[in-house]
A and B are shown apart, each in its own frame.
Chain A
Amino acid sequence: MDGIHDMGGMMGFGAVAREADEPLFHEDWEKVAFGILLQVSGRVGFSDDHLRAHIERIPPLAYLEASYYERWTRALESYLEERGLLSPDAVEACLANMAVPARPGGGRGTTLDDIEEAVAKGASTRRDGAGTPARFRPGDRVRVLNEHPWHHTRAPRYTRGRIGEIVSDHGVFVYPDTHARDLGECPEHCYTVAFRARELWGADAAASDLVNVDLYDSYLEAVDTSA
């Protein structure tokens, strides 16, 4: 989807503002939002692909105004509502009964070591041995298809129609475009494709510079180098 999230190369945002001695979280609710998302996602099938797809559906003006953890929270709510796992009425009713933010009581007594062990395992989207064969090899010249789907995709807009060179084949991974829509994992090869900065941005870019982008097999077509 050609949404506001796909901002590589956009102009006019100004300088990068760094914060001295930045805390890990700026508000207490961000901690809760972070913890909710990390543990709920696995239980309700809310993968990173679903998270990103739902963030991308936030209307552009709201997206720009929202902080990182606000986007996460809006996306989770939107997903849970879509799945019928949470009703908007229940959220409104709960809000109406809550004067100040309060944490639920009880708790399962989870320990830090338990959490560390679970997080260290991760959840790889690599699917060795599965999926379609690689159509490209390192050194091949490829063009990113000029496709602009309405659904979630991971081919940045600034690469569409551009020619690059396959730098490496990372193996087979879950394909976000189908996975985010519940059409299956459809694993396929994922490559790093190097684009000359001038291929992307024109003569103002430095001749030596490269932009490397990770792209799935389906996003690419071979460039005929014999012509």
Chain B
Amino acid sequence: MALRVAALEQLLTDKGYCDPDTIDRLVELYETRVGPHHGASVVAEAWSDAAFRERLLANASGAMAGLGISGMQGENMVVVENTPGVHNVVVCTLCSCYPWPVLGLPPRWYKSEPYRARVVREPRTVLAEMGCDVADDVEIRVWDSSADLRYMVLPQRPAGSDELTREELAGLVTRDGMIGVAMV
């Protein structure tokens, strides 16, 4: 594959369709600037500011744009909120749709056959295998990103976090918690 991609880059650069510097900066952008820390800051804001949380749940892309977070593969975001009675988990069974502006590029397991095939059919088993135990009396809502909406989970605020700053709160939030395969 390495040779084939190199040949493609050469041919497409010759045709003027792409440019090696732009390739390198795109990679650098996702390696250094865009990632789950964006999602964590959105979650921390929602935990700290009730009005922001309301706006986020009503119009996620609009609320996130107010924090300077927007872009490719997150143009139309939906945020779903975990509560004591509901646990949400996100998947894309048809391909690997993922909210890039808030979580960065997806990990391999999210794109893998086992996750895509199983989490819609047996979410409780998959979540338990991944170390995320959901009580029997909690409803699970799976979100299959089958169109152009992109989903992020707003985890429950951990008990005993009342005194924490936004930065400290953001530090508690994990990528997997925002996909819904881990508790925060």
A residues near B, CB below 8 A? 5-11, 13-19, 22, 24-29, 31-36, 38-40, 43-44, 48, 52, 55, 64, 67-68, 70, 73, 76-77, 85-86, 90-91, 94-95, 98, 100-112, 114-116, 119-126, 154-156, 158, 170, 173-174, 176, 190, 192, 194, 197, 200-201, 205-206, 208-216
How many residue pairs bridge A and B at CB < 8 Å? 284
CA distance A57 to B120 in the complex (A): 24
B132 to chain A, nearest CB (A): 11
A124 touches B29 (CB 8 A): no
Tell me the complex Cα distance, A16–B64, Å.
31
Inter-chain contact A112/B142, CB cutoff 8 Å = no
Q: Mark B90-107, 1 if CB is under 8 A from A, else 0.
A: 010111100001001101
Are the C-beta atoms of B1 and A22 separated by less than 8 Å?
no
| Residues of B within 8 A of A (CB-CB), count | 82
A90 to B15, CA, bound (A): 12
B159, CB-defined interface residue at 8 Å: no
Q: How far is the CA of A215 from the CA of B147 in the complex (A)?
A: 7
B50 CB-CB contact with A under 8 Å: no
Chain B proximity of A83: nearest CB distance (Å): 12
| Contacts known (A16-B130, A216-B147); A28 close to B2, Cβ less than 8 A | yes
Is B73 part of the binding interface, using a Cβ–Cβ cutoff of 8 Å?
yes
In the assembled complex, how far is the CB of residue A176 from the closest CB belonging to chain B, in whole angstroms? 8
Instruction: Knowing that A86-B11, A156-B93 touch, tell me 10 more A-B residue pairs with CB under 8 angstroms.
Output: A26-B108, A39-B18, A40-B18, A73-B1, A116-B33, A201-B121, A206-B136, A212-B141, A214-B144, A214-B145
6 A–B contacts, CB within 8 A, in A order: A10-B117, A39-B23, A101-B2, A116-B29, A119-B34, A174-B148
Q: With a CB–CB cut-off of 8 A, which chain A residues contact B122?
A: 201, 205
Q: A7-B116, A109-B21, A112-B25 are in contact. Are A95 and B7 (CB under 8 A)?
A: yes
